[in-house]
Structure 1
């Protein structure tokens, strides 16, 4: 595969971490108390929490709207809106500012999360069958998908312009969001009754936590730009953009599209690996482990247990890149293809020998699914922006997110049809 074929000198000249001659004398500011890292970790957790809130409260929505397939409709609307929005953002990213896009997206997240608790308080009031509320909720899910495209594309792009640890922070934050929701799900199942009032209380809790975290994200993101470490790297980017403009002129129209396709060609194998990771993962998780496997020991706690196992080890995998990051992306891309082996292995958990159908193999495979998903995603997300010049790192981040969302969408569709 033609991945990262440049020489060491090429990489050095393109790395945003190596100061140019005009900045070499400047000392890189210290990330005091790791505050910048914490901010990016929190933002990573924040932009996935709205989707997690909608999908985790699916029992509540199933009670309210029993005649529709809520989770599948939510998934299609969310993914479709996010996908179309990302395509538009990619073609107009050079005319817009990531700072504005992220702030608008975070604000839209708050609005979309407010819809469910406000509508419950003034209209639904726990009543089943009020389908006008369902249509409003679907619009809120679509709005959340738009916000996801604005925030995730901008945030991954922004992290790509910074040292590797900040991309690792964002990616680990996304996994932490899943862990938070898993523990909220355990708490609500243990503390709330499973009748209409209990489901209503659980759903309101999910959305309340989401709103609080999104407000924190808005504050954190706007504080981040005042930190010396971010000012330093923003200055590096500004100088790189100005130098590029002086050499090549302003990019517009056909010239911009030509440059964009070159960038896509440069990172296409990274995108292929990430897309394949999420095709495999989403075609197994969460559908398989919530619907297809059963346990006499755990009973209705089994799916919650498996989802928690997956989310915890997804976080572990995404955190391991802070300890060891392989330099050769070909290995990680090959390992992404190797994850196709999960299909026959999980198939065996339903149709194989008796032991293979017990809790231990299923739990072990779920642990491996989460660990490999987390580690390989983190590796490829970190390495991809480092293959281009600093001024193009944001576009690479958005392109990689587009591949990720395509993988999520295809994986969600495959989950309906594969042989399990």
Structure 2
């Protein structure tokens, strides 16, 4: 029995590193019964969790018309971006340092903080703002809610991605596709809530409040589903295998505790993947949503233009991340080369802002925004799926958290660079 267990663990590590389907290979070689993901329930829940931990951020930036009315003299999305990702980065680094903090508690706490942050907007509107614009105290409280969402994101994103990194590739792909689906869902929610109410200040307030209430209900669903997924047989199976790997390595006197040296070894293996993820989001966040929603304008579309551009980006980001389920580029050199090639978006967007008149019209700007979303989604997914497979299974969770750190680092740097478009 012990020999059989060791063979299973060996195969699991081998297949984890080769991106193969662990279930089929291990079951064939060792006659082990692998629980099935009945009705793809675990996959669907990880998809919804990916949607959930980015939904609050997307909710804040997609209500751009509402916040622009309340605070007309502020670069709202640029402020939101810097605050959100700065808080998220700092707290993710703190969480990583104290990584013994239980992931189950971490994720539930983060989802609870998301609820509090989303509740701020409708409550402050009902009891303080009441449709009036230019109230700076309202802006300060809203920015504080955005910062609280950043803290919650650090708690939830690192935990969910670390958990998915220990599972077969399809679950990380589910999380990443879910993050893009979040943007699509929020964009269409905003379009619907804006369309069903009168196009005046009362309609704008009512649509924004309804929009945030729907987002709150979605986070409640995420809390319920997260507490369900850990009890599914397939998740229990992989958690047990991970425990076996750790126990086996300890028996072999291979200490699994993550010292500074072992973390450095992991960093050496994934450094280029991490740099690629950071570069992708530096380019994207320095352009979107700040420049896309605040620096380009349309006489025809009016305040619908920013919402349309955000929707286009989110839809194509979702398409890009979903494409990895059909074709996953397994050549890291090509993927990293594509990350560098995306620097070309800078001169292209400069053309849309200051170039010939044609390039500043709706069609070129919308097309370029769609391409920005597509390349962000696909290449970020490729790099983030491949990175955890560079290490052994017992280090996959740590690698997933490290990749999340690189991701948020890129987002934070990009959000700061977005202010340079104003210079």
Matched, 1:307 2:307: no
SS in 2 for 1:386: helix
**Number of the residue aligned with 1:52:** 58
Q: Is the contact made by 2:77 and 2:290 (CA closer than 8 Å) also made in structure 1?
A: no
- The whole-number CA distance in structure 1 between the counterparts of 2:307 and 2:18 is 43
**Number of the residue aligned with 1:227:** 232
Q: Is the contact made by 1:284 and 1:415 (CA closer than 8 Å) also made in structure 2?
A: yes
**Number of the residue aligned with 2:5:** none
TM-score after normalising by structure 2: 0.89
Q: Is the contact made by 2:55 and 2:182 (CA closer than 8 Å) also made in structure 1?
A: yes
Change over 3 Å in CA distance of 1:67–1:284 after alignment to 2? closer
**Number of the residue aligned with 2:348:** 345
**Number of the residue aligned with 2:151:** 146
- The whole-number CA distance in structure 1 between the counterparts of 2:112 and 2:174 is 22
Q: Is the contact made by 1:90 and 1:398 (CA closer than 8 Å) also made in structure 2?
A: yes
Change over 3 Å in CA distance of 1:257–1:347 after alignment to 2? same
4+ long deviations beyond 6 Å: 19-23
Residue 66 of structure 1 and its aligned partner are, at CA, apart by 5.1
- The whole-number CA distance in structure 2 between the counterparts of 1:9 and 1:130 is 58
SS in 2 for 1:71: helix
Alignment of 1:102-181 (within 5 A): 102-128=107-133, 130-181=135-186
Residue 133 of structure 1 and its aligned partner are, at CA, apart by 3.9
- The whole-number CA distance in structure 1 between the counterparts of 2:141 and 2:135 is 11
Change over 3 Å in CA distance of 1:136–1:345 after alignment to 2? closer
- The whole-number CA distance in structure 2 between the counterparts of 1:140 and 1:290 is 21
Residue 265 of structure 1 and its aligned partner are, at CA, apart by 1.7
Q: Is the contact made by 2:283 and 2:342 (CA closer than 8 Å) also made in structure 1?
A: yes
Give the CA RMSD over aligned residues: 2.7
- The whole-number CA distance in structure 1 between the counterparts of 2:412 and 2:95 is 18
Alignment of 1:36-51 (within 5 A): 36-51=42-57
Per-residue Cα deviation, 1:305-362 (whole angstroms, up to 9, x for no partner): 2222211111111000000012221111110111111112222234444544443332
Q: Is the contact made by 2:280 and 2:410 (CA closer than 8 Å) also made in structure 1?
A: yes
**Number of the residue aligned with 1:332:** 335
Change over 3 Å in CA distance of 1:320–1:102 after alignment to 2? same
Which shifted more, 128-137 or 387-396?
A: 128-137
Residue 70 of structure 1 and its aligned partner are, at CA, apart by 3.8
**Number of the residue aligned with 2:90:** 84
Runs of 5+ unmatched residues, structure 2? 1-10
Matched pairs, number: 410
SS in 1 for 2:376: helix
Runs of 5+ unmatched residues, structure 1? 1-7
- The whole-number CA distance in structure 2 between the counterparts of 1:320 and 1:35 is 20
Indicate which of 185, 188, 196 corresponds to 1:183. Answer: 188
- The whole-number CA distance in structure 1 between the counterparts of 2:128 and 2:12 is 63
- The whole-number CA distance in structure 2 between the counterparts of 1:116 and 1:305 is 22
Which shifted more, 399-408 or 353-362?
A: 353-362
Q: Is the contact made by 1:157 and 1:394 (CA closer than 8 Å) also made in structure 2?
A: yes
Indicate which of 240, 252, 256 corresponds to 1:247. Answer: 252
TM-score after normalising by structure 1: 0.89
Alignment of 1:59-98 (within 5 A): 59-65=65-71, 69-93=75-99, 95-98=100-103
**Number of the residue aligned with 2:259:** 256
- The whole-number CA distance in structure 1 between the counterparts of 2:129 and 2:363 is 42
Change over 3 Å in CA distance of 1:218–1:263 after alignment to 2? same
- The whole-number CA distance in structure 2 between the counterparts of 1:129 and 1:317 is 39
Residue 380 of structure 1 and its aligned partner are, at CA, apart by 0.9
Per-residue Cα deviation, 1:198-220 (whole angstroms, up to 9, x for no partner): 23212212221111111111111
Change over 3 Å in CA distance of 1:97–1:182 after alignment to 2? same
Q: Is the contact made by 1:15 and 1:388 (CA closer than 8 Å) also made in structure 2?
A: no
Q: Is the contact made by 2:77 and 2:289 (CA closer than 8 Å) also made in structure 1?
A: no
Residue 153 of structure 1 and its aligned partner are, at CA, apart by 0.5
Which shifted more, 96-105 or 34-43?
A: 96-105
- The whole-number CA distance in structure 1 between the counterparts of 2:348 and 2:130 is 45
Per-residue Cα deviation, 1:244-272 (whole angstroms, up to 9, x for no partner): 333346666xx611111211221111111
- The whole-number CA distance in structure 1 between the counterparts of 2:264 and 2:225 is 34
Change over 3 Å in CA distance of 1:65–1:356 after alignment to 2? closer
Matched, 1:32 2:38: yes
Per-residue Cα deviation, 1:174-224 (whole angstroms, up to 9, x for no partner): 111111121122223322344432232122122211111111111111110
SS in 1 for 2:224: helix
- The whole-number CA distance in structure 2 between the counterparts of 1:119 and 1:288 is 27
SS in 2 for 1:345: helix
- The whole-number CA distance in structure 2 between the counterparts of 1:91 and 1:251 is 16
